[in-house]
Amino acid sequence: MSNLLDLLVAGLATGAIYAIVAVGFTLLWQTSQTINFAQGEFVMLPAFLMLAAMHAGAPFWLAILIGILLSLLLLGLGFKMLLVDPMLRHGVLPLAIATMALAIGIKEAVKQFFSAEASPFPSVVPAGDIAIFGRMVSLQSLGVLALAILAVVGLTALLNRTSIGHQMQATAQNPTVARIIGVPVERMILLTFLINAFLVALASLLITPIYLAKFSSGEVLGQAAFIAAIVGGFNQVRGAIAGGLLIGVVDNLAAAYVSTQYRAAVPLILLIVIILFRPQGILGRAEERTV
């Protein structure tokens, strides 16, 4: 039990990152029925964009800015215009499968154009430990946690307290009625794609220093985010946040108390149990279902 606090803090920190990714995932689902199987690769890519900018000689802060702008352009605007818009009329499943192909494409592109090896990535939060209640806790974990909480609070405020947020929610709940009452639905959908692109870039910035930048790291991240989204509740932003935190903590506790070999199995089993017994998620509302 000695390192339970460490585990909890580390779990909450990675969980907060999962939550950011999962929120983006649910936003896309809500506003445009897009199940983005490439979400994990979306998190992996911005770190490489930032690394590329740094290789070109940009200082770290500028590289971050370039990385975020490029991911808004590629993963937000480009993803929507080139893949989602033409695919959406075909239905949910073909679009989901197209994003699986996209995931393969992004992974291979990074492997070819950057490197197949893992690269170190500078941390935005200084390394070291800090004493809390007489115990040493990793500063990095706390910093990540603080930044992630800031992002989540900011997003929730945007969604619930501003006019744009209300318009986005209206778009998500009923696009037809939203259009009738004068919400620019198309612009709101584009905005959710841009928000998702920003969230994945932020997640990339926070998680890559912990796990290194590697072309294949998106698989694990993507799965964690899907599981978080489903466990928390697919149709709710706060569900995704709760799910993300839960998965992060469960993952870290499993690494310590279950065998390392089956660590990865624990969130999956949690997922199966939730889907079987409470498919709308812990915080979700039941959706209409066929049969």
Partner 1 sequence: MKGPGKYWRIALGVVVIAGLIVVPLNFNRYGLFILSQWAVMTIAAMGLNLTLGYAGQVSLAQGAFVGIGAYAAAIMTTQGMPLAAALGVAVVLCFAVGWLLGYPALRVQHHYLAFVTLAFSTLAFLVFRNEDWLTKGIYGISNIPRPTIFGFATNRPLPFYYVCLGSLGIVSVAMWWLIRSPWGRAFLALRENPVRALSLGIDTRRYTLMAFAIGSALGGVAGTLYAPLTQYIDPVPFNLSLSLDLLMMVIVGGAGFFFGPFLGAMIAVLLPEWLRFTEGYYLMLYATAVIGLLIYSPSGILGILDRVLAERRSKAASARRAVAKSGLEAAP
Number of chain residues interacting with partner 1 (CB under 8 A): 41
Helix H, strand E, coil C: the string for 235-279 is CCHHHHHHHHHHHHHHHHHHHHHCCCCCCCHHHHHHHHHHHHHCC
Query: Which of these, 38, 14, 87, 33, lies nearest to 197 by C-alpha position?
Result: 38
Query: Which of these, 112, 88, 288, 110, lies nearest to 185 by C-alpha position?
Result: 88
Task: Give 17 or 35: the residue with its C-beta nearer to partner 1.
Answer: 35
Query: Contact with partner 1 (CB under 8 A): which of 164, 264, 282, 283?
Result: 264
Crossing angle, helix 265-277 and helix 237-257, to 10 degrees?
Answer: 140
132 forms beta bridges with: 135
| Whole-number Å distance between alpha carbons of 92 and 26 | 14
What is the DSSP-derived secondary structure letter of residue 286? P
Task: Give 157 or 286: the residue with its C-beta nearer to partner 1.
Answer: 286
Task: Give me the least distance between CB of 220 and partner 1, in Å please.
Answer: 10
From the list 56-64, 192-200, 205-213, 267-275, the region that binds partner 1 by CB under 8 A is 267-275
Query: Contact with partner 1 (CB under 8 A): which of 112, 160, 162, 173?
Result: 112
Task: Give 6 or 85: the residue with its C-beta nearer to partner 1.
Answer: 85
State both tokens at 262: 């089956």
Task: Give me the least distance between CB of 268 and partner 1, in Å please.
Answer: 4
User: Which of the residues 38 through 77 are near partner 1 (CB under 8 A)?
Assistant: none
262 touches partner 1 by CB under 8 A = yes
Query: Contact with partner 1 (CB under 8 A): which of 86, 120, 122, 154?
Result: 86
| CA-based R_g, the chain, Å | 19
117 touches partner 1 by CB under 8 A = no
Report how far Cα 131 is from the mean position of its chain's Cα atoms.
Answer: 30
Query: Contact with partner 1 (CB under 8 A): which of 1, 93, 131, 181?
Result: 93
Task: Give me the least distance between CB of 289 and partner 1, in Å please.
Answer: 7
* SS3 (DSSP) at 51: helix
Query: Contact with partner 1 (CB under 8 A): which of 18, 48, 198, 226?
Result: 226
Crossing angle, helix 139-161 and helix 185-211, to 10 degrees?
Answer: 170
94 touches partner 1 by CB under 8 A = yes
Task: Give me the least distance between CB of 59 and partner 1, in Å please.
Answer: 31
Residue with tokens 């907060």: 16
| Whole-number Å distance between alpha carbons of 226 and 10 | 20
From the list 83-91, 170-178, 204-212, 236-244, the region that binds partner 1 by CB under 8 A is 83-91
State both tokens at 9: 């803090």
Interacting residue ranges for partner 1, rule: CB under 8 A: 35, 83, 86-87, 90-94, 96-98, 100-102, 104-105, 108-109, 111-112, 219, 223, 226-227, 230, 234, 261-262, 264-265, 268-269, 271-272, 275-276, 279, 289-291
